Structure 1
Amino acid sequence: MRMLENGSHFVDVGGYQLHCAVIGSGPPLLVVHGGMGYGHGGFRPWLDALGDSRTVIYVDLPGNGKSGTPADYEQWSTVDRLSDSLHQLRVGLGLETWSVFGHSFGGYVVQSYALDHPDEIDSLVISCSTSIMDHMDESLRFARIASHSDEQYEAIAGALFTPMTSDAEFDRVTSQVRSAYFADPDFLGRDVQMPSGGSAAAFNATLRVWDNSDLSNRVASITVPTLVLGAARDWTFPLDVGARRTHRLIEGSSYHEFADSGHFPYVEEHDEFIEVVAGWLLTP
């Protein structure tokens, strides 16, 4: 198995470069962020502890973070272009197989990747995600409960799910809604810094992909060992239409639910999250 040096790597994936940051040692684990718009930075330092037993490869998806932007990016509207970029990244890094972790929108991307390239994946972790974005009404019902003001809920229900006209608008809207993603909003500012420098183009690509997001009739064919994670206070993917449903669809998958977290259980229940994920990855 090829050993990757810790640090930044750039891999040509056909006309543009993907950036990834590598830490730790052991069998490779690809970590795919959600969003999109801000790259992998929101995972750190929270998931760095997985590097105690894994070579963790944090990728910035196309158009995000330090990765390049494809020439036809504004036409991307299906998830297969994103899952193919992960395939090309693996080839470029010279790895035969790896485990794959995806959170939120990234959890949706890695399901597509597992369907398109099953022989490349040793195991799969799907965190706080879904297999089909058909539950906006249910998400908004939970968002009203999670919101800390009428103005915040109005930003979630309105501006957050419409295309952004500029990077500045994207940063402004995400700063308005960010605290609603935490069961304990005090994490924001105290333990978690609000990201900046986001990409409206990347966020808009997410909206286009969600419009063509139905994997629910296909994920039953995922046969690699799979762990599905959910959070009880996550309004973005309420359990019954998010993690629990995906767990039911993927026969034989393992499941764990975090009782006291919003959308980021790796922050709010950090020790339990690391114990669950690292322990499951180490299970023969």
Structure 2
Amino acid sequence: MDTGTHTVELDGVRQRYHVHGRGPVCVALPGGPGVDWAYLRMPALEAHLTVVYVEPIGTGGSGRLASHPHGYTRARYARALLALLDHLGVATAHLIGHSHGGFVAQYFALHRPDRVAGVVLYESAPVTGPEHGAEAQRNVEEFARRNADRPDLPGVLAALQATASISDDDEMDAALRGLLPAYFADYWGREAEFAPLRATVRGTHISGLDERLVPDTIDDRAALGSLTVPALVVAGRFDVICGVRWARELVELIPDARLVVLERSGHFGHLEEPAVFAEAVAGFVIGS
């Protein structure tokens, strides 16, 4: 739990993680799958909590499976998370899962509630697949209408389309940097603030297929009613990919779940409204 970057071999795979802050332990799972952990750094939250930022297996400095870029299912990520908790000597921890990390967090909370003190589903959803994709497309169209006069808009929309054909890490980097404005409530209005992230964000190509090349699709709607751990759902009003519609559905499905909507955020509320985000998450963690 010393502050800084750590690397350990767990379950035969190299695992890198980063520890910052002081207080109750929260394990932060980034999105993608495949997006480098650094975008999820939450200094405002670290003032209240010890945050363990995971570089998921297959991503960044962590090791890759023999089946790479395939085989990174939620079950495999959950297995790696369990090994990390054991290594840290943490009996129970709060989980903060952002985007795809939220899918992993809810899977782990459903299957190993004995190791979870509470879960923050941050820009997550109960389902992927065609229904999720159709909602995202509607949100992207609304984003395009709001920003029709922006010269960079065609490039952003092209990058969003390109995500379906990514096949290597360089293409992943280019797509992330191209599409990033769509993931903020007002990227161009705060461009000086967010441009450094756009210039440096990195990712690893993860296919979303299991070792048999079958899509690891998600539909937790039937299971979430049995979730027994405290849950906080956080969503940005302008998130195009995992927005308020899905947050409300999660809250309806999960017993006693709480909802926080960040009214001036897109997909990155910890960057767009850091104080509001930190107050909500720290209050939940300390209170549960």
The answer to whether the superposition gives a TM-score over 0.5 is yes
CA RMSD across the alignment? 2.0
Give how far 1:118 is off: 0.5
- The equivalent residue for 1:91 is 86
Give how far 1:37 is off: 2.3
Q: Does 1:122 align with 2:117?
A: yes
Letter in 2 for 1:250: I
Q: Does 1:141 align with 2:144?
A: no
Is contact 1:143-1:180 (8 Å) kept? yes
- The equivalent residue for 1:249 is 253
Count of residue correspondences:
274
- The equivalent residue for 1:131 is 126
Aligned counterparts of 1:262 and 1:130: Cα–Cα separation in 2 = 15
TM-score, reference length from structure 2: 0.88
Q: Does 1:260 align with 2:264?
A: yes
Is contact 1:78-1:209 (8 Å) kept? no
Give how far 1:184 is off: 1.1
Letter in 1 for 2:186: D
- The equivalent residue for 1:70 is 65
Aligned counterparts of 2:275 and 2:243: Cα–Cα separation in 1 = 22
Structure 1 outlier segments of 4+, above 3 Å: 186-189, 205-211
* More deviation, 60-69/142-151: 142-151
Aligned counterparts of 1:262 and 1:107: Cα–Cα separation in 2 = 16
Q: Does 1:60 align with 2:55?
A: yes
Identity %: 30
- The equivalent residue for 2:29 is 32
Q: What are the ranges of 5 or more consecutive residues in structure 2 without an aligned counterpart?
A: 148-152
Letter in 2 for 1:268: E
* More deviation, 184-193/263-272: 184-193
Aligned counterparts of 1:16 and 1:281: Cα–Cα separation in 2 = 30
Aligned counterparts of 1:61 and 1:270: Cα–Cα separation in 2 = 24
Give how far 1:193 is off: 1.8
Aligned counterparts of 2:72 and 2:65: Cα–Cα separation in 1 = 13
Residues 265, 179 of structure 1: alpha-carbon distance in 2 compared, 3 angstrom cutoff? same
Q: What are the ranges of 5 or more consecutive residues in structure 1 without an aligned counterpart?
A: none
**SS at 1:126's partner residue?**
strand
**SS at 2:91's partner residue?**
coil
Is contact 1:230-1:244 (8 Å) kept? no
TM-score, reference length from structure 1: 0.89
